[in-house]
Structure 1
Amino acid sequence: MCGIVGALAARDITPMMIEGLKRLEYRGYDSCGIALFSEGNLRRSRSTARVADLESQVNAFGLTGFMGIAHTRWATHGPPTTLNAHPHFSRERIALVHNGIIENYVELREELVVKGYEFDSQTDTEVMAHLIDSLYQGNLLEAVQQAVSRLTGAFAIAVICRDEPLRMVGARKNSPLVVGLGEGENFLASDALALAGTTDQIIYLEEGDIVDLHVDQCHIYDMDGKTALREVRIVQAYTAAAELGLYQHYMQKEIFEQPQALADTLQGIEDFSPRIFGENAQAVFETVDSILILACGTSYYAGLTAKYWLEAKAGIPVNVEIASEYRYRSSVPNPNTLVLTITQSGETADTLAALRHAKEQGMAHTLTICNVATSAMVRECELAYITRAGVEIGVASTKAFTTQLAGLFLLTLVFARLRGRLNPQQEADYLRELRHLPAAISAVLALEPQIIAWAESFSRYENALFLGRGLHYPIALEGALKLKEISYIHAEAYPAGELKHGPLALVTEQMPVVTVAPRDDLLDKLKSNMQEVRARGGQLFVFADSDTHIHSEPGIHVIRLPENYGVLSPLLHVVALQLLAYHAALVRGTDVDKPRNLAKSVTVE
C-alpha cells in the first residue's frame, strides 16, 4: 500500500527520493508528495496524479534539499485529494509521512483542537504531526517517543523538524520500515526496493523500534526506550526486475516470467528432504497432527489448492482460514497444529495478526511460504520456504501464486513421505513432474494468440461465471479474481456442482461461463454441468486438457492445453486464466498494473 522514502545527505537528495517513489509505485497509491528542508524552511509539493506529475511539479518549483521525506498514499481516511496527501505539516515546523491506520485519532484530534491546532485534512496522519509538535521541546526524538506511546493502531512514520536540520526520526508498529546506510548519508523507506541503486546496506527495524538518524549516525531504540543493536544486511536490489523491458505491462512480463520463477523456486529439490523448510522441520512435522493455513486473497486460493493436495496425498487434516476473519472469531486451538501462513510480501497485516493470534492460542509450530526472505513473516515463523519469484510489481499476482503452489506441493510430498504414504518411485515421479513444470507452462504461454482472440469477444461482457470442480475449484476462484481485479468485469466462481443451487438462475446469452476442464475423475460430471449451461443459452469458454473430448461448437469455445498434468494441473490452467484476464483488460483499456482502489502490499487492516 502506501510507501515511504526519507533521506539525509550532504547533497541534493531530491532526484533520489523521486526515483524511490517510482520504485514504490507497484504497491498501489492514489496521491503522492514530498517535503524538503531548504534554506531554513520546510517546503513541499503534493499531487493526486502519478509520481511523474509530482516530479514535474518539483522541477517547476525548483525544489531541492539535503533532508526530506516523500510518500505515496493509498487513501484510508478521507478521499485522495491534495489536502489529504502526505507529507503533513504542523505549524510549518514538523513534517511527517505515515503508513498504517491510527485507531484512536478521533480522541487525539479533539484534544489537539482544544489546544488550538487547526486541521487541513481528513486524515488520521495529520493528528500525529500535530501531536508531535505539541510535545516538541527542542528534541525531535523525545517528542516522537512520547507521541508513539499514545498511539493505538499500526504505523510506520518518518518525521523531520525545521528546527533540527539533518535529523530524521522513524518509528514502526505493525508496519514495515527499513534504514538504509550510506557514506555520509542515511535513508528510511518502507521497502528496501525504494533504495535500490542508492545503498545495499539495510537494517530491518523490529516491532516497536524508533530510529534516530543523522547524516553520519544511526541510533535505534526498542519499545522500552533502550538502545538496540540491529543487524546490517547486504540486500541486493532488484533493479533489473523493476524494468519493464519489451513488455507492455508488468503483469504481462510477470506472467511470462513464470517458467523461470518456478525453475528458481525449485532449485535444490535434488536434495529433497524436510530440511528445505528449515533445520528443525522434520522434528516439527513429526509432531503435528493437522495444518491450519492462514492467508488472504490470491494466497488464500493457494491454500485452498494445498488442502486438496495435503489431505489426498499426505492424509493430514487441513483447515484453510481467511486471515482477516480468523482472529475475530472463537476457534478451537490445537497445540499439535502446524500454522502455515502464505504471503507474497511477508508484510500482509491481516496474515501477520492472524499468525500472532494463533501463537497466543498456544499453537507454537509455525511455517510460512513467502517470497521475501527478510520479511516480518519469515522472522516471526519457526520454519520457512522462500519462493524465488523475484519482485512482482503488477498488483494482480501471477508468478507469486504459481511459485506458492510449487512450495505447497513440495510440502505435500514431505508430509506424504513422513506419514508413509509415498514410496520412492512415486516421489521420484512427482519430483520429475515438478522439474518439467517450466517447460509445461511455456507451452501454455504459447496459447496466447488463441486467448487474445477470445478476449476480443469476452471483453464486451460485464459479468462472468467461472466453474471448476475438486482441485480446480480454487483455480476457478483465482481466475475470477484476476478478471475482476484488472478488467472490472464482475466475475464469480463456483464449484460446478453448485450450479443448480442458485447460480444457474444467472445464466443467459449475456453470461459467459469460463470452465476449467482437466481430464480427471470429475470430468464426466463437469460435462453434465456444462450441458446445463448450454441448455440455458449460456456461452461456454472452456480450457480443456487435450484428451477430454470436449469440442468447439456453437456456444462452446474450447482452447486445448498442451498436456494433461495430473495433480499439478492447477499450475497450468491458472496461467491460461491469467492471460485471459490480462488480454480482456487490455481490450477494455484499463490500468492493468495499477487497478483502481487496489494496492499491492496490504499493510493495514
Structure 2
Amino acid sequence: MCGIVGAIASRDIVPVLVEGLKRLEYRGYDSSGIAVHAGSDITRVRRVGRVAEMEAAAVADNVHGELGIGHTRWATHGGVTEYNAHPHVSHGLIAVVHNGIIENHEQKRAELKAAGYQFESQTDTEVIAHLVHQYYLVEKDLFRAVHKATRELTGAYAIGVIALDRPDELVCARMGCPLLVGLGEGENFIASDVSAILSATRRVIFLEEGDIGRLTRDGVTLIDKDDQPVERKVHVSDVSLASLELGPYSHFMQKEIHEQPKALSDTIEAILDDGFSAELFGAAAANVLPTLSGVKILACGTSYYAGLTAKYWIESIAGVVCDVEIASEYRYRDAFADPQHLVVTISQSGETLDTMEALKYAKSLGHRHALSICNVRESAIPRASDLVFYTRAGAEIGVASTKAFTTQLVSLFALAVTLGKVRGRVTAEQEAQYLAELRHLPGSVQHALNLEPQITAWSAQFAAKNDALFLGRGLHYPIALEGALKLKEISYIHAEAYPAGELKHGPLALVDENMPVVVIAPNDALLEKVKSNMQEVRARGGELFVFADADSHFSDSDGVHVIRTPRHVGVLSPIVHSIPVQLLAYHVALTRGTDVDKPRNLAKSVTVE
C-alpha cells in the first residue's frame, strides 16, 4: 500500500489528487482510486492499472469536489482487483485510504461481522472504514471516531478519512507509516510524500508517531499519541535539500531505508527509457563492452557485497568470467592483469581511498578500461574512469549504506544484461522480460518495507544476544553477508554469514539456544537445500529467523519464526531481500540504544587507509 494524497479547498481538488497520485507512482502500485465529497454523496473512482486510467474514468464521470482523498495501492491483503482498491467506503458515509498493515485485522473483521457489517473486499483497510463508521454513529464527530478507531488498531498505518455529512473537514492519523500535512492559503492537504503536493504548497508539517489531525480549509489541529493538543514545526520544502532533512523519521538510516522505492525508480528510469544499451555506461561503452573477455570488480564493505551478487548475474546472464576482490587487499598483492577484463569499481561516495588506490594499481598492471559505479557526480573515482554509471540514490547520510547498496545492485544487473546483449546471449524477448522485472522492482521493495512491524517484533529477541549467524545460498549468500554487516555496524552484535551448505563444515559448532540464525530463503532452485540446512540448526537447538517468500511453504513452529515477502521476484530477489535485513539491523539497534546514524569507530566516506 503505497501512496496517499488528500485535500480540502475552495476549488475543485480532483486535479490535485490525480497529480499527487502521479507523483507517487515511483513507489510502485497496481491500482489507484479517489473518493470525493460531491455534495449529495461520496463519489468514488477506482481502477486497476495506471493512474491515467483512473483519471480518464474520473473525467468521463465528471467527478468534481472540494474535499477528497486518493491512493495508489500495491496489493498485500487481497488480490489486484477493483474491489480491493482504495478508497474503501462504509455505508456510503465514511471513506478511508490507508498505507501500512493492520496486524489484528482478522480479529476486528470477525468482531465487525458479528456487529452486522458486511465486507466487500479482502483488505485490512476495510476494517478501518467500518470501525470508524461504528464509532461515528455514536460520537457524531469524525475526529473522535478516528481517534477511538485507531486506538484499536495494531500495526502500521497512515490514514486519511472523510465523511459524507462533514464536508468541511479531513481527518488523518499516523502510526509507523510516513504522513505529512501541507499548508496552503484557504486549503490544506495530506500526503505520504511532499512530492505529491508540491504544485500546491511547499509548507509542510511532518506528523509524528501517534499524531491525529483535523484539517479544515482554514487550519489544522493536532493531538499527539498522549491525546494532548500539539503543534508541529512547519517546514518549507526545498526539493534539492529534501534528502538532507529527517522529515518524519527518527534517523537518516530509517529515512534512507524507506526512500529505496524512489531511489530505485530514479535509477531504473534511464534503463527503462533506453533499454539495456551500452550508452548507459558512457559514450565509449559501445566500443568497449563488445571487446571484453571478463570483469574484475573492486570494492569495499557493502559495495563489495554488491559486487559478489553481480558475479552471479554477470556469469549467468552474460557468460563472462567475473572476479570480485576487496579493494584494500587487491592493491597489496601481485595480481594478474588481463587487458581484456573490465575493471569495475563500486563506491557510494566516489572518494573511497582503498578503491581509488586499487583502481590506480589495476591501471598500472595494464588494465585498459575502467567502469565506475558511483552515487556522487564528478567525484574522484568516476573522473579516473573512462566509463561511469551514476546511481540516483540521492544523498545518503547514514553511515550504514542502504539505498546506495540497492541502487548499486540495479546498476550491476544492468551491466550484466547489457554485456549479455552485446555478446548475443540476451534475446529481445529476454530483454523485455528483464525490463518488466525492473519496472516492478520499486513496488516489490515497498511491499517488503510493509513488513516492518513484524521485523520490529523480532528485534527484542535479538537485542539481548551477543552473536548471530546469517545463512544464504547462491545469489542470496551476499545478502546474508550484508545482513550480518548491518547488524554488526549499528547494533554492535557480533554476526557472521556463511553459505548455508557450509554449516556442517565448522560453523555448526557454534549453534545452540543462544545463537539466533537468520536465513534468507526465497523460493528459488536452492530452497530445498536451504530447508535441509535449517533442519541441521533445529536439531542442535538453534532458533531460526527466516525471511521467505509467500510461496515457500514455511510456517512458524517451535524455534522457527517466519516472515514472508509477498512475491518472489526472480533474478532480482536479492534486492528485495536486502530490505528485511536492513530493517532488522535498524530495529535491533534502536532496541539496544546505539547511535544508528553514527556508529562508533566508523565514517560514511572512508578516505583514509
Query: Where in structure 2 are there 5+ consecutive unaligned residues?
Result: 1-237
How many Å separate the matches in 2 of 1:274 and 1:525? Answer: 37
2:243 is matched with which residue?
A: 241
TM superposition shift of 1:460: 1.3
Is 1:470 equivalent to 2:474 in the alignment? yes
Question: What amino acid is aligned across from residue 292 of structure 1 in structure 2?
Answer: K
Question: What amino acid is aligned across from residue 400 of structure 1 in structure 2?
Answer: A
Is 1:527 equivalent to 2:505 in the alignment? no
2:303 is matched with which residue?
A: 299
2:606 is matched with which residue?
A: 602
Q: Note the 1:235-384 alignment, pairs <5 A.
A: 238-269=240-271, 270-272=273-275, 273-384=277-388
Is 1:448 equivalent to 2:467 in the alignment? no
CA distance change for structure 1 residues 443 and 583 in 2, over 3 Å: closer, same or farther? Answer: same
> Deviations along 1:253-309, whole A, 9 cap, x unmatched?
000000000011111222121101011102101111010000000000000000000
1:390 is matched with which residue?
A: 394
How many Å separate the matches in 2 of 1:435 and 1:446? Answer: 19
TM superposition shift of 1:421: 1.1
TM superposition shift of 1:490: 0.5
2:4 is matched with which residue?
A: none
1:582 is matched with which residue?
A: 586
Residues 295 and 321 in structure 1, CA contact (< 8 A), matched pair in contact too: yes
How many Å separate the matches in 2 of 1:516 and 1:282? Answer: 37
CA distance change for structure 1 residues 322 and 237 in 2, over 3 Å: closer, same or farther? Answer: farther
User: 1:239 aligns to what SS in structure 2?
Assistant: helix
1:516 is matched with which residue?
A: 520
> What TM-score does the superposition give when structure 1 sets the normalisation length?
0.61
Residues 293 and 319 in structure 1, CA contact (< 8 A), matched pair in contact too: yes
How many Å separate the matches in 1 of 2:464 and 2:582? Answer: 18
> Deviations along 1:188-245, whole A, 9 cap, x unmatched?
xxxxxxxxxxxxxxxxxxxxxxxxxxxxxxxxxxxxxxxxxxxxxxxx9953211111
How many Å separate the matches in 1 of 2:392 and 2:503? Answer: 38
User: 2:265 aligns to what SS in structure 1?
Assistant: helix
How many Å separate the matches in 1 of 2:523 and 2:453? Answer: 23
User: 1:268 aligns to what SS in structure 2?
Assistant: helix
How many Å separate the matches in 2 of 1:557 and 1:255? Answer: 23
Is 1:564 equivalent to 2:568 in the alignment? yes
Q: Note the 1:6-45 alignment, pairs <5 A.
A: none
How many Å separate the matches in 1 of 2:444 and 2:241? Answer: 28
Q: Note the 1:104-183 alignment, pairs <5 A.
A: none
Residues 392 and 400 in structure 1, CA contact (< 8 A), matched pair in contact too: yes
TM superposition shift of 1:457: 1.4
How many Å separate the matches in 1 of 2:371 and 2:455? Answer: 37
Query: Where in structure 1 are there 5+ consecutive unaligned residues?
Result: 1-235
1:86 is matched with which residue?
A: none
Question: What amino acid is aligned across from residue 259 of structure 1 in structure 2?
Answer: P
How many Å separate the matches in 2 of 1:321 and 1:238? Answer: 35
Query: How many residue pairs are counted as aligned between the two chains?
Result: 370
User: 1:266 aligns to what SS in structure 2?
Assistant: helix
How many Å separate the matches in 2 of 1:268 and 1:503? Answer: 43
Residues 238 and 391 in structure 1, CA contact (< 8 A), matched pair in contact too: no
> Deviations along 1:409-464, whole A, 9 cap, x unmatched?
01111011111111111110111110111111000000101001111212111100
How much is the aligned-residue C-alpha RMSD, in angstroms? Answer: 1.0
How many Å separate the matches in 1 of 2:519 and 2:396? Answer: 27
User: 1:593 aligns to what SS in structure 2?
Assistant: coil
Question: What amino acid is aligned across from residue 532 of structure 1 in structure 2?
Answer: E
> Deviations along 1:156-190, whole A, 9 cap, x unmatched?
xxxxxxxxxxxxxxxxxxxxxxxxxxxxxxxxxxx
Identity of matched residues, %: 65
User: 1:339 aligns to what SS in structure 2?
Assistant: strand
Is 1:536 equivalent to 2:552 in the alignment? no
> Deviations along 1:517-564, whole A, 9 cap, x unmatched?
011111111100000000000000000011111111000000011100
User: 1:367 aligns to what SS in structure 2?
Assistant: strand
1:33 is matched with which residue?
A: none
Question: What amino acid is aligned across from residue 328 of structure 1 in structure 2?
Answer: Y
Q: 1:548 aligns with which of 548, 552, 572?
A: 552
Residues 249 and 592 in structure 1, CA contact (< 8 A), matched pair in contact too: yes
How many Å separate the matches in 1 of 2:339 and 2:240? Answer: 39
How many Å separate the matches in 1 of 2:533 and 2:286? Answer: 43
> What TM-score does the superposition give when structure 2 sets the normalisation length?
0.60
How many Å separate the matches in 2 of 1:542 and 1:250? Answer: 27
Q: 2:435 aligns with which of 431, 441, 445?
A: 431
> Deviations along 1:112-171, whole A, 9 cap, x unmatched?
xxxxxxxxxxxxxxxxxxxxxxxxxxxxxxxxxxxxxxxxxxxxxxxxxxxxxxxxxxxx
How many Å separate the matches in 2 of 1:290 and 1:425? Answer: 25
How many Å separate the matches in 2 of 1:268 and 1:242? Answer: 24
How many Å separate the matches in 2 of 1:435 and 1:361? Answer: 40
How many Å separate the matches in 2 of 1:365 and 1:342? Answer: 14
TM superposition shift of 1:374: 1.2
How many Å separate the matches in 1 of 2:311 and 2:246? Answer: 35
> Deviations along 1:569-605, whole A, 9 cap, x unmatched?
0011110100000000000000000000000000011
How many Å separate the matches in 1 of 2:376 and 2:471? Answer: 32
Question: What amino acid is aligned across from residue 534 of structure 1 in structure 2?
Answer: R
> Deviations along 1:30-64, whole A, 9 cap, x unmatched?
xxxxxxxxxxxxxxxxxxxxxxxxxxxxxxxxxxx
1:145 is matched with which residue?
A: none
Q: 2:500 aligns with which of 496, 499, 506?
A: 496
Residues 342 and 369 in structure 1, CA contact (< 8 A), matched pair in contact too: yes
User: 2:241 aligns to what SS in structure 1?
Assistant: coil
How many Å separate the matches in 2 of 1:238 and 1:511? Answer: 45
How many Å separate the matches in 2 of 1:432 and 1:318? Answer: 26
> Deviations along 1:356-390, whole A, 9 cap, x unmatched?
00001110111011001110111100000000001
Question: What amino acid is aligned across from residue 450 of structure 1 in structure 2?
Answer: Q
